[in-house]
Amino acid sequence: MNPLERYESLVDDAAAFRAACERPLPSVVRVNTLKATVERAREALDSAGIPYDRAEWHGGLFRLPEGNPGTSWPYFHGWLHGQEEVSAFPALVLDPDAGERVWDACAAPGSKTTQLAALMDDSGTLVGNDNNLGRLSALRHNAERLGVTNLAVTNQDARNFSLKPFGFEHFDRAIVDAPCSCEGTCRKNPDVLDKWSLGHVRTLTGVQKGILKRAVQATRPGGTVVYSTCTFAPEENEAVLDHVLSEADCRVVDFETPLSTSPGVTSWEGEAYDPQVERAHRVYPHQNDTGGFFCAKLEVTA
Amino acid sequence: MNDGQQFDRLPATADERAVAGRATREEVLAWWDERFGVPPETFDDVTFWEKGKGKIWAYAGEAPDEIEIEGLGMTVLRTRQEHWKPTTNAVQRWGRAATKNVVVVDDAAARRFARGDDQELDWDGDWGYLVVAHELADGVEPLGVGLYLYGELRSVVPKGRRRDID
């Protein structure tokens, strides 16, 4: 079964949703503002004769219709980093300030982590964690290539993450870009649809709930936690929020985004969720011609 | 002694040195200043750490003086050897502030350098590690580290960073 059929009842335009899911995505790069301004990166792309279109919703993202820029000067210098367009969304929602303590619970391979470092102006303490030691080397390589120095890299199970090595008690902000069934990346990796199973979804939801709960606990009262995935499955999105709302001290808050989105769903297959989950944003591929995504912003209340 | 499993903050000066052979912050700043003319205040926002024998990391965040984790900022320098060696990533990040031992090469030479090729170079400055730079987008941009010996510029760009530029 094609798992995308499950979600047609949720979207406003099922035909447009189906059609968008079948179109491949262009390569996209983000300008690494730790090493170059958007203007200089544009100049370097222009002088290399590489065509690009700026994403309407984010001035530092360029769509490259001719593909991978890995062998261009701006890439060599770490001015650009390849990143799927919609995956630049959650770091903007977390919106960390310079000097803060920030936890990226599932950091590797580091596109979002290095974006956070740039938003923090490479100051404060950014802890990038991943449970997969092999993927951590990709995280470190990307961070160093992009000139990041505020990143500390840890290899823990995020569900019982310990801040002990650092000697402070809480983060100001945390982001959980959770391992998920990834149907939203089908425009890049159609394989994810063949590998999809409800059993896998059920396994993932346990991990997702555990990590998000720990992120809320590890963040100071008044702090912000962002939860994101690249799946459309309510089991992995709103149901995870619903669970953590009942288990940890937090609430879902509204936020604005320049992307076209749909609200979180409050019921699915006979389950009803806490009405707050409606404040989350669903991104369907036909809305902005991107991959699919889910993003919620939580405030820690105690 | 030096423990290869953890990051240890460098002592500020030789008077505070407890581990034999460990570089001090003062020495690291003096090295960048003497070798490349990079002003010490360039590094005001980072602390320096040793993990592994002689490998120095620069980190902008908070941590206790000893910490056992997988990474702390960026590797910047190899010490505990006669000629200290800066990393490609450090030179790309801070090399714009360099005022000496900087060689600005033309586009063809920059491409050979980025590929990892050695090449002849007409250079009458110091031998040893140089900042290799080229002109890009209305500025001079450091490419990485070259080792100049006997009329030849060797590229020490690590394998994973080498590129055949289009």
pLDDT, position A103: 98
A contact test, residue of B45, B67, B75, B89 with most A CBs within 10 A:
B89
Q: Is residue A77 part of a domain?
A: no
Number of domains in chain A: 1
Residue A254 belongs to some domain of the structure: yes
d(CA B157, CA A70): 16
How far, in Å, are A4, A83, A100, A194, B68 from residue A183 at the CA level? 8, 17, 33, 10, 37
Residue A119 maps to a domain: yes
A170 in a structural domain: yes
Q: What is the pLDDT of residue A68?
A: 73
pLDDT tens per residue across span A14-43: 999 999 999 999 999 999 999 999 999 999
Write down the pLDDT at residue A162. Answer: 98
pLDDT tens profile A212-237: 999 999 999 999 999 999 999 999 99
Nearest to B91 by CA among B27, B160, B145: B145
- Is A3 part of a structural domain of the chain? no
**Of B138, B143, B164, which has the smallest distance from its Cβ to A43's Cβ?**
B138
Q: Are the Cβ atoms of A122 and B59 closer than 8 angstroms?
A: no
Of B68, B72, B92, the CB nearest to A78: B92
Give the mutation candidate from A114, A144, A146 for the B interface (greatest B CB count, under 10 A). A144
Euclidean distance between CA atoms A192 and B140, whole angstroms: 44
Residue A229, pLDDT score: 98
Q: How far is CA A103 from CA A106, A129, A166, A224, B11, in A?
A: 9, 8, 12, 11, 28
- Nearest chain B CA: its distance from A158 CA (Å): 14
Do A36 and B165 lie within an 8 Å CB cutoff?
Answer: no
Residue A69 confidence (pLDDT) above 90: no
Chain A, nearest residue to B96 by Cα: A35
B141 neighbourhood in chain A, CB within 8 Å: 77
Cβ <8 Å between B138 and A77: no
How close A247 gets to chain B, by Cα (Å)?
30
Nearest chain A residue to B69 by CA distance is A154
- Answer yes or no: is pLDDT of A182 > 80: yes
Residue A70: per-residue pLDDT: 85
Residue of chain A minimizing CA distance to B48: A149
Which of B70, B89, B163 has its CB closest to that of A154?
Answer: B70
Q: In the structure, what pLDDT confidence band is assigned to residue A57 with cuts at 50, 70 and 90? A: very high
- d(Cα A17, Cα B70) in Å, to the nearest integer? 42
Options 1.10.3720.10, 3.30.420.40, 2.30.130.60, 3.30.750.210; CATH for B101-161 is 2.30.130.60
Instruction: Write out the residues of chain A at the interface with chain B, using a CB-CB cutoff of 8 A.
Output: 35-36, 40-41, 43-44, 47-48, 70-78, 101, 122-126, 128, 133, 136, 139-141, 143-145, 147-155, 165-168
In a domain, A66, yes or no: no
Average pLDDT over every residue of A279-297: 97
* B92 Cα to chain A: minimum distance (Å): 7
Which range marks the domain in which residue A289 is found?
A: 85-300
Q: Supply the pLDDT for residue B84.
A: 98
Dist CA B16 CA B11 (whole Å): 6
- Chain segment A127-180, per-residue pLDDT in tens: 999 999 999 999 999 999 999 999 999 999 999 999 999 999 999 999 999 999
Q: What is the CATH number of the domain that holds A137?
A: 3.40.50.150
**Which residues of chain B does A35 touch, with a Cβ-Cβ cutoff of 8 Å?**
92-93
Asked if A145 and A117 touch (Cβ cutoff 8 Å), the reply is no
What is the β-pairing status of strands A101-104 and A125-129?
Answer: parallel
Domain ranges of chain B: 7-95, 101-161
Task: Locate A178 and state its tokens.
Answer: 């959770």
Q: State the pLDDT at residue A54.
A: 94
Domain annotation covers residue A291: yes
Q: What is the pLDDT of residue B3?
A: 78
DSSP letters spanning chain B: ---TTSEEEPPSSGGG--STT---HHHHHHHHHHHH---GGGGTT-EEEE-SSSEEEEE-S---SEE-SSEESEEEEE-SSSS-EE-HHHHHHHGGG--SSEEE--HHHHHHHHHT--EE----S-SEEEEEEEEETTEEEEEEEEEEETTEEEE---GGG-----
CB pairs under 8 A between A and B: 114
Within a 10 A sphere around the Cβ of B128, how many other Cβ atoms?
Answer: 14
| Residue B137: per-residue pLDDT | 95
Report the pLDDT value the prediction gives residue A67, as an integer from 0 to 100.
84
Report the residue from A73, A126, A167 with minimal CB separation from B165. Answer: A73
Structure tokens at B65: 């003086």
| Residue among B62, B64, B89 minimizing CB distance to A147 | B89
Is the confidence at residue A188, as pLDDT, over 80? yes
Tokens of B59: 């980190």
What whole-number distance in Å separates Cα of residue A7 and Cα of residue A5?
Answer: 5
pLDDT value at position A165?
A: 96
In this complex, do A152 and B75 lie within 8 Å of one another by their Cβ atoms?
no
Contacts A156 to B, Cβ<8 Å: none
Query: What percent of chain A clears pLDDT 90, i.e. is strictly above it?
Result: 97
Q: Which residues of A touch B160 (CB under 8 A)?
A: 141
Active site (catalytic) residues of A: 230
Query: Three-state DSSP class for A119?
Result: helix
ipTM of the complex: 0.97
| Residue A279: inside a domain | yes
pLDDT tens by residue, chain B, 166 residues: 777 789 999 999 999 999 999 999 999 999 999 999 999 999 999 999 999 899 999 999 999 999 999 999 999 999 999 999 999 999 999 999 999 999 999 999 999 999 999 999 999 999 999 999 999 999 999 999 999 999 999 999 999 999 999 8
